[in-house]
């Protein structure tokens, strides 16, 4: 039987340890990625309102704005949400003058300024609601800046548009304040809006 000297055995042990260390360095799992910084909501845009006037992000300055994305042919969630916002706006009393609802279409092919004007004239919708439309690129740009998902479903004139549904509350500087769930009760949405208004007043 071949006998290995102590010195040889020591060198073998060192070599094995070095190989193990190299393998650990090469194959160790990568450290977890740092969470990405939150993406800001809102930003510059250029669209056409329901009167045919070209507007931009300055539309959101001077008042608290509830920005909601939808479309006039939406069968359920859009009219329900706008009706809720109409109830909220009428319940704000003297503060109603400091609040506006902005409805941005995700269906620019059908939602022309005149179609938006007719749709928003519904008596249960927010009084003075502003409808916005534009080219497909303009609509995609503002939807992207608010993190809104939308996708056309079907063909022909009876297609629908799947879209995310959230209400973005923007402060009078035109900056994002908070999200209000579209299925909120009028009381809950009103409370969230007044809380934001009161918080801003306290900070002034």
pTM for this model (two decimals): 0.80
pLDDT at 158 over 50: yes
Burial class (CB in 10 A: 0-12, 13-18, 19+), 39: exposed
Domain that holds residue 68: 46-203
Length of the chain: 204
Q: What is the pLDDT of residues 69-89, one digit of tens each?
A: 999 999 999 999 999 999 999
Q: SS3 for 4?
A: coil
Q: Look at the block and give the residue holding tokens 């393998």.
A: 23
In a domain, 197, yes or no: yes
pLDDT band for 188, please (50, 70, 90 cuts): very high
CATH of the domain at 152: 3.40.30.10
In-domain check, residue 38: no
Determine, yes or no, domain membership for 37: no
Mean residue pLDDT of the chain comes to 86
Residue 102: CA count within 13 A, CB half-sphere: 26
> pLDDT tens-digit profile of 89-145?
999 999 999 999 999 999 999 999 999 999 999 999 999 999 999 999 999 999 999
Question: Has residue 198 been placed in a domain?
Answer: yes
Does residue 158 belong to any structural domain of this protein?
Answer: yes
| Residue 133 included in any domain | yes
Whether 6 maps to a domain, the answer reads no
Question: Is 1 within a domain?
Answer: no
Are the C-beta atoms of residues 128 and 63 closer than 8 Å to each other?
A: no
Tally of domains in the chain: 1
Q: Beta strands 99-105 and 130-133: pairing type?
A: parallel
């Amino acid at each position: 039987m071949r006998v290995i000297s102590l010195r040889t055995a020591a060198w073998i042990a060192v070599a094995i340890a070095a190989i193990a260390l190299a393998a650990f360095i090469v194959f160790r799992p990568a450290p977890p990625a740092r969470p990405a910084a939150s993406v800001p909501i809102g930003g510059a845009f250029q669209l056409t309102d329901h009167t045919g006037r070209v507007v931009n992000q300055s539309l959101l300055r001077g008042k608290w704005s509830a920005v909601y994305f939808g479309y006039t042919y939406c069968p359920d969630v859009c009219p329900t949400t706008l009706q809720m916002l109409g109830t909220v706006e009428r319940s704000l009393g003297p503060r109603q003058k400091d609040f506006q609802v902005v409805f941005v279409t995700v269906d620019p092919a059908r939602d022309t300024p005149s179609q938006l004007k007719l749709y928003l004239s519904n008596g249960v919708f927010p009084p003075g609601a502003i409808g916005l439309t534009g080219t497909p690129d303009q609509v995609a740009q503002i939807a992207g800046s608010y993190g809104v998902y939308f996708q056309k479903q079907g063909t022909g004139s009876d297609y629908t548009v799947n879209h995310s549904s959230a209400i973005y509350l923007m402060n009078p500087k035109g900056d994002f304040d908070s999200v209000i769930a579209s299925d909120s009760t009028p009381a809950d949405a009103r409370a969230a809006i007044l809380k934001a208004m009161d918080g801003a007043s306290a900070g002034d």
